[in-house]
Amino acid sequence: MIRSILLDKRPVGKPLLTDFQFVSEEKPAIQAGEILLKTSYVSVDPYLRGRMKDAKSYAPPFELQKPMRSGVIAEVVESMHSGFSVGDHVSGMLEWKEYQTSKGEGIYKVDANKAPLSAYLGVLGMTGLTAYLGLSEIGKPKKGETMVVSGAAGAVGSVAGQIAKIEGCRVVGIAGTDEKTEMLKSEFGFDAAINYKTTGNMRKAIDEACPDGVDVYFDNVGGSISDAVLVKINQFARIVVCGVISVYNETSLPQSLSVQPFLVKNSALMQGFIVTDYTSKYPVAMKQLSQWLAEGKLTYTETIVEGFDQIPQAFIDLFDGKNKGKMVVRI
């Protein structure tokens, strides 16, 4: 028998363990043209919260009583498919199951000799691509500019900040613990970092950390943190609206700054970003991220939780900031 995790209830507010259900089922058997995949690593991501709602978005909602799915790294343990051999590792949007079959559609091989497998869910996966493409397509950081990134110690934020450093920017990160703000400066080379939970006055903290104003804002969180940054933007600033984790669990529409005056008077650009709009650019982005990693210009951290039964808790913990870098579950 194998285990599988279903969405049992649509969460109201912060997700609870009781919103998920573990079920046991027969280990699936493959047929001609299929492979059997054994799950190795499961990615938990804030955007999954949006798919747990029954609301229109860029990705369809998860169905109740059906398996959750996210980025997964799996090993091919049986193959009746000409394109995959036993022992291959693959990445894809797969179900939260210990074993599952696949016809090979929408999955691609990853090389365990080139990078640790978990990296293909982070810096060499969706979150690394998000950081790279959010900046290359919208943020466009230039040498000498100041970039602020929120959610800075997370998977996307920590890579986005380092890329802006590579491009020659002054980089200021916003994160939720002193340990994280220290890490941003000592491990990732950020110029300054603000703990939004203890700073007391975010606007003053941004003023002090960004004496020349803000040219690029890579926003992963939205809400009042972003309001404090938006009042400090410079002429022709670019704001990458990548995520709004501070409102994902809200049950009513949040109150926010009226941003239009700040955009108009600064001729600024504020644009929503969804990484899957740029799939044609993934190969170029992957090549550059891999090269920076190999050259030691880019580094990454991850929080690896152990065990299939811990997947729901690891997901919930994202909303309490329990992760540094990419949150991944090893099975």
Interface residues toward ligand NDP, by CB under 6 A: 45-47, 126-127, 130, 151, 153-157, 175-177, 180, 220-221, 225, 242-246, 273-275, 318-319, 321, 323, 327
Would you say 74 or 242 has its CB closer to ligand NDP? 242
**Angle, CA 165 vertex, CA 162 and CA 170 arms, to 5°:** 125
Beta carbon nearer to ligand NDP, 104 or 134:
134
Instruction: Find out whether 43 and 71 touch, Cβ atoms under 8 Å.
Output: yes
Q: Determine the 3-state secondary structure of 213 from DSSP.
A: coil
Per-residue CA distances from 50 to 161, 226, 244, 246, 304 (Å):
25, 20, 10, 12, 23
Query: Which amino acid, one-letter code, is at 313?
Result: Q
Closest separation between CB of residue 79 and ligand NDP, Å? 31
CA-wise closest residue to 156 among 232, 242, 73, 96? 242
Shortest-Cβ-distance residue relative to ligand NDP: 154
Nearer residue to ligand NDP within complex by CB, 76 or 314 = 314
Closest to ligand NDP by CB, 12 or 86: 12
The number of residues in the chain equals 331
User: What does residue 163 show for φ and ψ, rounded to 5 degrees?
Assistant: -65, -40
Least spacing, CB of residue 260 vs ligand NDP, in Å: 22
Closest distance of CB 242 from ligand NDP, Å: 5
Of the pair 192, 327, the CB lying nearest ligand NDP is at 327
Ranges of beta strands (E only) in the chain are 2-7, 20-25, 35-43, 69-79, 89-95, 99-102, 107-110, 146-150, 170-175, 192-195, 214-219, 233-241, 269-272, 302-306, 326-330
Q: CB of residue 191 vs ligand NDP: minimum separation in angstroms?
A: 18
- Nearest distance, CB of residue 248 and ligand NDP, angstroms: 7
Q: How far is the CB of 238 from ligand NDP (least distance, A)?
A: 15
Compute the least distance from the CB of residue 211 to ligand NDP, in Å: 23
Characterize the bridge pairing of strands 20-25 and 2-7.
antiparallel
DSSP letter, residue 54: S
Which is nearer to ligand NDP, 244 or 329 (by Cβ)?
A: 244
Q: Which C-beta is closer to ligand NDP: that of 36 or that of 193?
A: 193
Question: Which residues have a Cβ under 8 Å from the Cβ of 294 and sit 6 or more positions away?
Answer: none
